[in-house]
A and B are shown apart, each in its own frame.
Chain A
């Protein structure tokens, strides 16, 4: 669909990152570096929590920036730059997930965030100690619990949550990034919140990590997230 001149002008005037991207379109290498510096950590963060592995997240982030550079000549500012960038990131992550599923490797969602750094749910249970269910978890353990919880969401819920929480995107921007309606994003985020609440309920109620007791109706992943 063609983008109106007024839309282009609006983003060109109001989004400094769009202005940088237009400079990249004109082969300004410094503008590209500046865009990278502004976004690389944000992209890696979202991708890391999306795909579950830091190394892969960095590889995918490089792929995202490469695609941006290659697409520079045809760039037309029809949305905020961040929306455009995270749309590419979402597509890159989806492609990677499909390729990985095709290769029949380890389950995407069940893979630990980082095998060196992140214990499995069972290990968390031990760490939280069965003898002291209400003991206060340290910062690292809490992070691991939240990682486990977010990895329990399906891919779309996870993406919507990450864009909302980390990128502070509006429903409309998330919808544009994920090619959904704003109403669908509201549904997605509500279900994601509910799933997180259910996974984290043991921790919220007693301070114990998820997985140490049966959740009311099991993990949200058991609803059919078979990726």
Chain B
């Protein structure tokens, strides 16, 4: 288990979270009493082999799955017992996701891929003008201002990943969850993307959890947490790296 002092408004607080899948009479424990707190602006690498439960834990933290036991608090909101509809609203407003295979909408330009977030928010979101301004700012900050009108197919792997990061940051989330953000990239581009993630998260003071199985990438995180067979533990080797 891994714990830090737990301010009530911490971007992420998992308390004794357990996720059990039932298959007939047998039970598969994917996450076993995991406790983790991520502080403001902190970047945590979640390191583990395939099948260790890191994806399940990330899904629970992002409101994509509900835990069997324990408590999940994100950005001060307790989402433990929320309904699927409430979790949809939560994901739209409170967390950002960057997925393994980027997964931009292929027929939308880079700018429009960011504006999707505003569209999903509908009337409750920002005005169209503010949304366009926000998208433009983000793309400029990510060095993609000149690529705003390009479709994903016209962008490089690294550029697509940057657009995905922009989409995750669009609603100024309390927490951004990265799922193997470098797995589809070569080492050099992967390091550039990790550096970008580090810079963007730090400059905004946004907390992030980065799931990876690549130990070469963990030094971009403030802290590394290992997960094996659903059990979390601090990584004594990676801990303390800047």
Q: Do A and B come from one complex?
A: no
Q: Which residues of A contact B (CB under 8 A)?
A: none
